[in-house]
Amino acid sequence: MTLNQNSVTQGDIKIQESILKRAIADDQQALVVMFKQFVSEDEQCYFLEYLGIEGFWGFGTHSFGCLTDRRVATVRVARFGEVTYQDGYLEFINSGVIYQPSKLPLYIYVGAIISLPFLVLFATPFATLFPWNVLLFLLVSGLAILFFPIAVKWYYRAFKCGLVFWVREGVPVYIFANRKFLRRANTLFRNTGVCREKRIKDLRK
């Protein structure tokens, strides 16, 4: 088997809130604790980094990347204790890609959400419906604020950002990264290529 993927709830695999907060701050010890639940104890870790949040702060999914001497892996932690782990063994990686999407669709999403309350306000004659159109404006504005984090998450669902490794006889390993953390993703990408070559040479010996 070339790839593992598990999605579990809090209580099955525990990632304590304190560990998560430290891992988000790139505390290496906390990152080791997080990933050592999934990888072998004797594996040497070369890369452990926080790669950002998919969605909006407080509503999104935190992404973490890991590279060991045997595999490349990612842990995703969402709200309410949802944890997803995915990995691919280095010797079975066929290729990889880094992608940074255009910001234009995100600007369109945000512009549509911001303009919607004003369209509602001016869609009807002001004098005939006052104050109902103002109340409707406030209601739609509140809904727009609530919808904004969901729109950002949908953007990242539709337009992937980060890196993908294609694994032989397995599904691709997708590691999300925010735009500001793409340098870290690029470092992970380069180091994975180096470690893959070394792993293949060691296995041939």
DSSP per-residue codes, 122-139: HSS-HHHHTTHHHHHHHH
Q: Give per-10-residue mean pLDDT for the chain (205 aa).
A: 40 74 93 91 92 78 95 91 91 92 78 73 60 71 72 74 89 91 94 94 88
Helix axes 28-35, 17-24, angle to 10 degrees: 120
Q: Are strands 61-68 and 71-77 parallel, antiparallel or unpaired?
A: antiparallel
pLDDT at 10: 40
Single pTM value for the model: 0.75
DSSP for 65-87, please give it.
EEEESSEEEEEEE-GGG-EEEEE
**Per-domain residue ranges of the chain:** 3-101+160-204, 104-154
| CA pair distance 91, 189, nearest whole angstrom | 15
Q: Which fold has domain 3-101+160-204?
A: PH-domain like (2.30.29)
